Amino acid sequence: MPTAMRTHATDRQVGSSAHPIAAMLGLVLDVRTEARVVALPCQVNDADLWFAELPDEVEQAKALCLDCPLREACLAGALERGEPWGVWGGQLVLQGVVVPRKRPRGRPRKDAVAAA
């Protein structure tokens, strides 16, 4: 478990209880820009977006991760842990493996199968 970092008056203390994503990754979050803490996409958006059923929502979550400073560590941690599903580090992970796209629910169309 990470320990809380020492902070200045303008920073907030971030530890395992304050930032669950950092705790899962085994990190101490210290992402500051000119004395302000950068809000991570997974903190400020609905958490369900990263575990969405609809392909469009999965793509939206992946796009939100593009500028995240923890993107590489997040993906590496998810792969190391073998996460069963979700968007981690801007990639869709299913059964512990990165997959390019989420299929819509239901049976694939016959013409799409023939083209593949």
Q: Do residues 49 and 61 touch, judged by C-beta distance below 8 A?
A: yes
**How far, in Å, CA of 67 to CA of 50, rounded?**
15
User: Is the domain of 30 the same as that of 67?
Assistant: no
User: Is the domain of 68 the same as that of 109?
Assistant: yes
Residues annotated within the binding site are: 42, 65, 68, 74
pLDDT(3) > 60: no
User: Is the domain of 66 the same as that of 111?
Assistant: yes
- Average predicted confidence (pLDDT) for the chain: 74
User: Is the domain of 59 the same as that of 88?
Assistant: yes
| pTM of the predicted model as reported, rounded to 2 decimal places | 0.58
Q: Count the domains in the chain.
A: 2
Residues annotated within the binding site for [4Fe-4S] cluster are: 42, 65, 68, 74
User: Is the domain of 106 the same as that of 64?
Assistant: yes
User: Is the domain of 58 the same as that of 14?
Assistant: no
Identify the domain containing residue 8 by its residue range: 1-38
User: Is the domain of 12 the same as that of 57?
Assistant: no
pLDDT digits (tens, 9 = 90+) for 75-102: 999 999 999 999 999 999 998 889 877 7
Mean pLDDT of 20-40: 59
Mean pLDDT of 12-37: 52
* Percent of the chain clearing pLDDT 90 (strictly above): 38
**How far, in Å, CA of 59 to CA of 78, rounded?**
18
